[in-house]
Structure 1
Amino acid sequence: MFKESKKKLSAPVTDTLLANGTSFEGTVEAEANIRIDGQFQGDICSSRTVIIGETAVVRSDIMARDVVLAGKVFGSITTEERLTITPTGELYGNAAAAALVILEGGVLDGTCQMNRTKDAEPLTSANDSNNESLTHSDKSQENNQAPLQSEAG
């Protein structure tokens, strides 16, 4: 009577792979999905998804649309959309993302900045009275964050 639906969670297709047992040093710029299971040192920039596998050790600053972290990253991660840290994932550095998911056991040893997405609405004028009570240092901190928010959007 009821049809059972079995949807599988599919990982993004891997277009570029750095396999376990491989080490690479340099800069990677791609308009494709990237998966790293080996060792990498340098910068990574992708307009799609970057997956850091469980066996990976990456010393890098990563910029991508989405990042799935299951290995170790020493550096910063900046995503346009989602950063997911799995139970085996460890980030020793800073993160900037529109959405952050840290599963139980995952490690974020650094700071995180939540970037606004294009769809996010600014605070309404009802909150303006609260904004007037900000100190000078709070207002200057808000001004310092504006360039990061505009880069992500």
Structure 2
Amino acid sequence: MGKHDINAFLGVGTSFVGRLTFGGVVRIDGEFEGEIVSSGTLVVGSQARVAGRITVGRLVCDGFVAAEVSASASVAVHARGRVVGSVCTPSLVVDEGGRLDGLVSMGRDEVLADPPALAAGTSPETSQKPDRKA
């Protein structure tokens, strides 16, 4: 079996609710709701609808994803793809026509949990300056 062979496939017209763990590559063309955990690659086909929490090595989205996404290697949203929710990944590609609506963090998970000053509406420049005494 080659490194790009698909290990599992959820076809058009099928739906699954629950938790999915896998190694290698999994392709979803149906509907999935729940949690997906893998160090491998998740491919969301053009007719797929995925909702929940996704923690993978790579996400390739050509369909619809409404989730909290954490990808240790990369996220690619193709021209027909749409991601709604939070995305944390070191590498992000959104093709022309693809949509990403939500919070994006280009780094480790700790980055999402750390920005209290930014959440309060201050800019990165002002939150990094030391306090001056008059």
TM-score (norm 2): 0.78
Shift of 1:12: 2.8
**Contact persistence 1:16–1:32 (CA under 8 A):** no
**Contact persistence 2:62–2:82 (CA under 8 A):** yes
The whole-number CA distance in structure 2 between the counterparts of 1:55 and 1:35 is 11
Deviations 1:1-47 (A, max 9, x none): xxxxxxxxxx9321111011100000001123111000010000111
Percent of matched pairs sharing the same residue = 32
Q: Which is strand-richer, 1 or 2?
A: 2
Structure 2 unaligned blocks of 5 or more: 109-124
**Contact persistence 1:69–1:85 (CA under 8 A):** yes
Q: Which is helix-richer, 1 or 2?
A: 1
Counterpart in the other structure of 1:69: 61
Counterpart in the other structure of 1:60: 52
- Match of residue 134, structure 1, among 113, 128, 132: 128
RMSD: 2.0
The whole-number CA distance in structure 2 between the counterparts of 1:19 and 1:73 is 16
**Contact persistence 1:15–1:33 (CA under 8 A):** yes
1:47 equivalent to 2:39? Answer: yes
Runs of 4+ that moved beyond 3 A: none
1:30 equivalent to 2:26? Answer: no
Structure 1 unaligned blocks of 5 or more: 1-10, 117-130, 137-153
State the number of aligned residues: 112
